[in-house]
Amino acid sequence: MSLMSWLKGLFSSRPEAPREAPLGRNDECWCGSGKKYKRCHWKEDESNRFEAAHSARVAAQRKPPRSGRPAPAESPAPRERR
């Protein structure tokens, strides 16, 4: 492989992996039971998605953690010499 073909391959666009279509309520369930998704795992998956979204919102609103160092203490004012 020449240097030019390697550089061309490096900067060329790569095809993306095909994305799966979202699972609809009336499709067959992903677990293989043969039931419709809405009658099998839909409620469980919906609650998991809701909990994940809620956790992400809460985590985004939290303040960043403080560093392990304590805040610098104020040094006392220097005494005047007589």
Structural domain for 48, as ranges: 24-61
Instruction: Kindly give the residue spans of alpha helices, DSSP state H, lying in 1-82.
Output: 3-11, 37-40, 42-61
For residue 40, tell me if it sits in a domain: yes
Looking at residue 28, its pLDDT comes to 92
pLDDT (0 to 100) of residue 59 = 87
pLDDT band of residue 25 (cuts 50, 70, 90) is confident
Q: What percent of the chain has pLDDT over 90?
A: 34
- The verdict on residue 55 lying in a domain is yes
Cα–Cα separations (whole angstroms), residue 78 to 9, 54, 57, 73, 74 = 67, 53, 49, 15, 12
Residue at 30 is within a domain: yes
Mean pLDDT of all residues in 54-79: 72
For residue 35, tell me if it sits in a domain. Answer: yes
Number of domains in the chain: 1
Domain assignment of residue 14, yes or no:
no
**First-last CA distance in the chain:** 83
Model pLDDT for residues 46-55, shown as the tens digit of each residue: 999 999 999 9
In this structure, is residue 36 part of a structural domain?
yes
Question: Does 66 map to a domain?
Answer: no
